[in-house]
Structure 1
Amino acid sequence: MVAPQPKWVLELNSGLPAKSKHATSIPDPPGLSASKPMTGKQAKKSQAAGRKIPTTEETETLKLKKAWEVALAPAKQLPMQAIMGYMSGNSLQIFSIMMVFMLFKNPIQAISQTNLAFSRFESPGTRSQMLGIKAVYVLMQCLLLGLGIYKVNSMGLLPTTRSDWLAWETERQPLERAYFAFGQ
């Protein structure tokens, strides 16, 4: 025995309701035809027919804009990473250690995959300009690496003081000795 379908299912399957007399003064929104709904293929064909094909110059300009967006994306991460570094503190805890690890891992990985990141934007017309964009990308990644080095230094993990190198220090030999004279 099949349960009867709910009212909303019947209304959904029946299609668009007929227009009432009261709605004739309101025009249909752009793209809606009152006859019958279009399928996915028909909608794609109508969009493709109305759209002009971009020229190679327009395509190259768009590729360069997108490449600049990718190149400057690490600069947008820099303030967020700095705030996270400040909030994590300078003590050795799992959160601060993982944050420092990510500050080193992600930029090194991104620098090693620079050509892969920009391969979709390269074309014969944009190849000469991509070198500068890639250089900016590597520079932005180096700024993130610098933030990681600063964080490691503020945590006290970099050997920057003389006391950090005491194991390699030799005992100083005095140039002269002083002996106390008792009595006189």
Structure 2
Amino acid sequence: MAKNPPSKPPPPPQWVIDLNNPPRPKSKNTSIANPPGYIEAASSGKRSAVLSKTPARKPPTTAETDTLKLKKSWELAIAPAKALPMNAIMMYMSGNSLQIFSIMMVFMLFKNPIQGLLSTNEVFRRFETEGTKNQLWLVKACYVLMNCVALALGVWKVNGMGLLPTTRSDWLAWETERVPLERAVFAFR
């Protein structure tokens, strides 16, 4: 048998050729100016010169940093109040019957503010500096107040579900037994 001469492999597809050969940069003969802040990548020497000409941003002063920390701490202190409308609507929509959904909602309504109250100092520790220490107590007080309002919403819901013993009932030990209406004797005849 005669051997066939080795054949050439087929040429690669056009997309492979385009991928391996990126397009050449266009000449600078266009009449359109570069946008402000554009740095041409082809000339690295010019680029470093342009970058060195831009002024460096000065570091913020301690007063500016303290002001920014106080603003962020106030945002964090008001956060529980921002969730109140949504929680109130969800509590209203879940109804007053004892179902797993409403019980879970009430559990979460109590859990989050209690965790927030217990971790108040840890939450605001990152904002505490010598400049903000005197002003941070008011932020903490606001945070505690907002969490107490969220707890009050939970108490309202539990009362609406009938789980608070706020009305007279027969199962309370210190109350006297109620007399049914059928056995009651009327004073007038």
What's the TM-score once normalised by structure 2's chain length?
A: 0.73
Question: Once the 2 structures are TM-superposed, how far is the Cα of residue 91 of structure 1 from its aligned partner?
Answer: 1.0
Aligned partner of 2:19 in structure 1 is 10
Match of 1:50 among 56, 74, 77: 56
Q: Which has the higher contact order (CA 8 A, sep 6+)?
A: 1
The aligned amino acid for 1:65 is: K
- Greater share of helix: 1
Q: Which of 114, 120, 140 is matched with 1:134 structurally?
A: 140
Question: SS of 1:151's equivalent?
Answer: helix
2-structure distance, mates of 1:8, 1:113: 62
Query: How far does the alpha carbon of each residue in 1:18-54 deviate from its partner, in whole angstroms, 9 at most, with x for none?
Result: 1356854142353x3112499xxx9xx97x9632110
Structure 1 alignment gaps of length 5 or more: 173-177, 179-184
User: Cα gap change, 1:93/1:128 in structure 2, threshold over 3 Å: closer, same or farther?
Assistant: same
Is residue 149 of structure 2 the alignment partner of residue 143 of structure 1? yes
How big is the shift at 1:170? 3.5
Q: How many percent identity over aligned positions?
A: 61
TM-score, with length taken from structure 1: 0.74
Distance (Å, rounded) in 2 between the aligned partners of 1:34 and 1:133: 49
Structure with the greater alpha carbon radius of gyration: 2
Letter in structure 2 aligned against 1:10: L
User: Cα 1:93–1:49, aligned 2, differ >3 Å: closer, same or farther?
Assistant: farther
Please tell me the root mean square deviation across aligned C-alpha atoms, in Å. 3.3
Cα–Cα, structure 1 residues 113 and 161, in superposed 2: closer, same or farther, change >3 Å? same
